[in-house]
Amino acid sequence: MAKVDSFNLLFNEMSKSAKRLEELLALIGLLYIGKQAITLTYHLINGCRIHFFSKLWPQNLSLYGEWAVITGGSDGIGKAFAYALAKRNVNLLLIARQEEKLINVASDLVTKFGVKVEILSADFVERLQTYKKIDDKLVNKEIGILINNVAALPLTLSLFHRISRNEHLGVLDVNLASMLVMTSKILPSMVERRKGLIINVSSTAGLFPIPFMATYSSSKAYMDFFSRALNYEYRNYGVTVQSLVPNHVPKDSSVGDYRKRILNFFKPHTMTFAENALSTVGYTPQTSGYWMHDMVNWFSQSIPDCIRIRLAAYFVRKHFSESEID
């Protein structure tokens, strides 16, 4: 009988402890779900504010100043920014290497929008020569907007040691030195006028490390950190510095047919992208520039690094199969 009593006592004690453990686990679960719900709600509201409400109350970008400078402004995202700004009556200085492409874009912009467009054919790898030419072009221009968009990847993607040191340094010249030098040339006059906008086009590749693209990926991380730090430094000087971290934005040969691709949410047309990105100015210091890309970036941040780095390596292998990765 005494044995049964002590067994009952032990059983009762154990079920009480199990109940307490169950309650504790339920509380932890509730707190976790609450935290996730709050985070999700915050991201949804903030996402709507950045990508949808911003379109209802867009900033008047022509108020920043008469001119915008776009590095890499003859193709892809840079060219789309040129069209989007010309539409807003901003004059443009476009910098890229191939003169013919620059001439074509410039004459189309002048014809369509009646803005002033100046071009500069220069290679950011040739540092001193290029910056001297840029100095000459900047004289007597009120630059309200600077878009540091130009970027380079090594010619082939491979293990770090298989790519020449000069090529790695060239990537840094184009991606980083260009941004630093252009910013240091143009920012002082913006501070003086207490007005200015700098958009630095980084990449999703800068949000976490991408194997076989180490130099590019880390240069994009630098751009992102640099932009957000500067945005804080100059918040009281009327200068906004925005970091754009786009996902995939395929290059389009024609700027005109972008409405056909308007429903392709994962791969926006460069024009859709540029229009969306410009509408976020003043609403956030960092964005992918496009609502679906922000959702993808947000989701990818919840994946542990050990998995997303592997996934990134897999995609690089798949999409750049002609490279010498293995």
Q: Cβ of residue 219: shortest distance to ligand NAP, in angstroms?
A: 9
* Residue 317 CA: distances (Å) to CA of 31, 306, 314, 324: 40, 17, 5, 9
Q: Which of 76, 144, 196, 289 binds ligand NAP (CB under 6 A)?
A: 76
Does 216 qualify as catalytic in the annotation? yes
Comparison of 63 and 169: residue with beta carbon closer to ligand NAP: 169
Q: Where does this chain touch ligand NAP (CB under 6 A) — which range of 29-37, 45-53, 150-158, 277-285?
A: 150-158
Tally Cβ neighbours within 10 Å of residue 240: 21
Amino acid sitting at position 61 = L
Q: Are 94 and 120 within 8 A, CB to CB?
A: yes
Q: Which of 65, 72, 154, 196 binds ligand NAP (CB under 6 A)?
A: 72
Tally Cβ neighbours within 10 Å of residue 237: 15
Comparison of 208 and 237: residue with beta carbon closer to ligand NAP: 208
Comparison of 78 and 144: residue with beta carbon closer to ligand NAP: 78
> Which two tokens mark 240?
């906004």
CA–CA separation, 219 vs 175, rounded Å? Answer: 7
67: phi > 0 → left, psi -120 to 50 → alpha, else beta; which?
A: beta
| Per annotation, catalytic residue among 64, 83, 131, 216 | 216
CA–CA separation, 284 vs 298, rounded Å? Answer: 15
Site string for ligand NAP, 109-128 (x = CB under 6 A): --------------xxx---
Comparison of 6 and 98: residue with beta carbon closer to ligand NAP: 98
Chain residue whose CB lies nearest ligand NAP: 76
> Which residues are at the interface with ligand NAP (CB under 6 A)?
72-78, 96-98, 101, 123-125, 149-152, 174, 201, 203, 246, 248-249, 251
